[in-house]
Amino acid sequence: MASSEHSQTSTPSSETPAPTSIPTPDKAPSVSLSPLPQKPAIEEATFLRLRDGFDGLLVVEVLLFAFLVASFPASNPDFFRQLAIGRLILQGQYHFGVDPFVYTADNDYFVNHSWLFGLLMYGLYRLPAIGDAAVVIFKALLSASLAVVLLRGGRRTGQSLWIPAACTALAVLVVSPRLHLQSACLSFLFLGVTVWLLTSVDKGATRLWWLPPLFALWVNCDSWFFLGPLTVALYLVGDLFTPRQPASPASASLPGATGWTVLAVGMAACLVNPHHIHALTLPPGLGLTPASGLIERDAQFRALSLSPLEKEYYQPYLGLSVAGLAYWPLVLLGLASFVFLFMSGQAPWPRLLVWSGFALLSLYNAQAIPFFAIVAGPITALNWLAFAAQRLGTAPRLTRAWLNWSLGGRTVTVLLGLVLLIATVAGWQ
């Protein structure tokens, strides 16, 4: 009995087998690892050196194009009239308010806004041996200076010059048919300076105080001087629609009361001229004077008052040219830039009102097209730079796709600039 019980208790049961190994799960758990960082396609220093090199080359091309496109002799008859007025002023035989070349004006007051331009041109023209070339070089330097101002007005700190240079080249191309040796060339430059001062107001509102002296000089050089105060007024009205956010550093860039004070002083500065209140008149080229109706009905002067919306505008040597057709890409690029900015939550109201005002003016009268181009160039560049900074940031990306777009696009732009230079030298502009 005892032995049998002992044998039963010492023998393991067949129903409960003894464990022979360590249990393992059916499937090992997976551990997710972060992907290995990709090696950049190019070093950042190398990319920045290439980018800056392309941008510098493009800027040189734009400045050369602006200089060459204005390097042609004077062919407009009003230039020689200005020379004659400058000679009379130096001889002390000129009387402000009286047209020395018209004897049937019935004592009407004659306003000559460009008397200072005529005096300057006559002084350059009298230079021994180089007088003929001096006036042409002066005009070409004005055009190159305009390109510099447009570049400065359309750039943003920390971003490349590719977009500003391309927009400036397009603007100069649109202006190029109007770069005759006349006082309007000074208005082109002065309007560009006005836009530059307004768009750089974030660097200090004190820069706006350069505008009153500029307006005082402008009113004594050309009849388009009113575009200066008009630009400031449109910018300030647009500023009223910009929401104030005291906690945001961007609110410090708004001109506020300083801008309106500068505008009032600037309008008063327009009275500093020999004609005083009589100088506050619109230029005949705008088409709003009493004689405009007679000019529009004259077939010889009909082309001066055409609108780009009219079919007659697209005739050879008018709107049917590379420079004339470049007006529409400039309009479309500017319009698209505002659409994308508003869709992304940005509202550049000051720039929108300035751009829209000059766009409507250019659609009304082709004489205002160069002024629209001067305004649209830097504003379009600023809009696209703001959109790119919001969507892509300002830091360079070193992926292969980004390099193809950035460096490849710059290469194509530089080649197009070279073609434009060759065409300008050959006289095809």
Per this entry, what is the length of the chain? 429
Q: What is the pLDDT of residues 24-60, one digit of tens each?
A: 555 555 555 555 455 555 677 787 888 889 999 999 9
Of all residues in the chain, the percent with pLDDT exceeding 70 is 79
Give the start-end residues of each E strand in 15-72.
none
- Are 185 and 143 within 8 A, CB to CB? yes
User: For residues 273 and 11, which has the higher predicted lDDT (pLDDT)?
Assistant: 273
Alpha-carbon distance 282 to 365, whole Å?
A: 14
Q: What is the pLDDT of residues 55-110, one digit of tens each?
A: 999 999 999 999 999 998 887 888 899 999 999 999 999 999 888 888 765 677 88
Parse the chain into domains and list their residue ranges: 42-425
Q: What is the DSSP letter of 284?
A: G
> What values do phi and psi take at 21, rounded to 5?
-150, 170
Comparing CA positions, the residue from 397, 330, 334, 413 lying closest to residue 55 is 413
- Are 239 and 259 within 8 A, CB to CB? yes
Which of the four pLDDT bands, split at 50, 70 and 90, describes residue 209? very high
Give the chain's end-to-end CA distance (angstroms, integer): 126
Token pair 């009275």: residue: 271
Which of the four pLDDT bands, split at 50, 70 and 90, describes residue 409? confident
